[in-house]
Amino acid sequence: MHPKDALRKAYEQELDLVEIAPQAKPPVCKIMDYGKYRYEQQKRERLQKKKQQTVQVKEVRFHPNTDTHDYDFKVRHARGFIEDGNKVKAAVVFRGRQMAHQEFGLELLERMIDDLDDIAIVEKEPNMEGRSMILILAPDKSKSK
């Protein structure tokens, strides 16, 4: 159909002439209500965004000399975060002369990996970043089922 005929036909029906496939030979156009089309498209996008799950990174902080009760309490919180589908960033913060004994922090994080290995995988191995030793754990989909 000639473009002028298509425009006239769309004008008579009080609709819009929308180009669907401009790269085709000849270009493909459709007579439709463009406002309604845009509204439905935005509605679909909102629905997809609503179903999308966002993963947050929750942080649990320790010190190298953290006692067993405090450790258990924080690991219990980390377990809850992982079960909710969030990642957990475990940080052992060193102060002053504690920097000379980083093996205590590494030992603490290794113990945490062992305690949470039934529901989590290690995303980032323990390593030093400034005065903190960082470990990142992510939920393991295969183990949580």
pLDDT per position as a tens digit, 24-78 = 888 899 999 999 989 999 999 998 888 777 778 999 999 999 899 999 999 999 9
Model confidence at 144, in pLDDT bands (50, 70, 90)? low
The answer to whether residues 12 and 33 belong to one domain is yes
Segment 71-89, tens digit of pLDDT: 999 999 999 999 988 999 9
Q: Report whether 31 contacts 13 (CB < 8 A).
A: yes
Percent of the chain residues topping a pLDDT of 70: 98
The answer to whether residues 116 and 45 belong to one domain is no
Range of the domain at 137: 57-144
Residue 62's CB: how many other CB atoms inside 10 A? 22
Segment 107-130, tens digit of pLDDT: 999 999 999 999 999 999 999 999
Which CATH number does the domain housing residue 61 bear?
A: 3.30.110.10
Tell me how far apart the alpha carbons of residues 64 and 111 are, in angstroms, rounded to a whole number. Answer: 12
The whole-number pLDDT of residue 145 equals: 52
Q: Which residue bears the tokens 């629905």?
A: 47
For residue 136, pLDDT beyond 90: yes
Which CATH number does the domain housing residue 37 bear?
A: 3.10.20.80
The answer to whether residues 100 and 65 belong to one domain is yes
Residue 56 DSSP one-character state: -
Strands, sheet with 120-129, edge to edge from the N-terminal-most edge strand: 57-62, 87-93, 132-139, 120-129
Query: How many domains does the structure of the chain reveal?
Result: 2
Q: Report whether 124 contacts 136 (CB < 8 A).
A: yes
Tell me how far apart the alpha carbons of residues 49 and 117 are, in angstroms, rounded to a whole number. Answer: 31
The whole-number pLDDT of residue 52 equals: 76
The answer to whether residues 110 and 130 belong to one domain is yes
The answer to whether residues 99 and 73 belong to one domain is yes
The answer to whether residues 66 and 23 belong to one domain is no
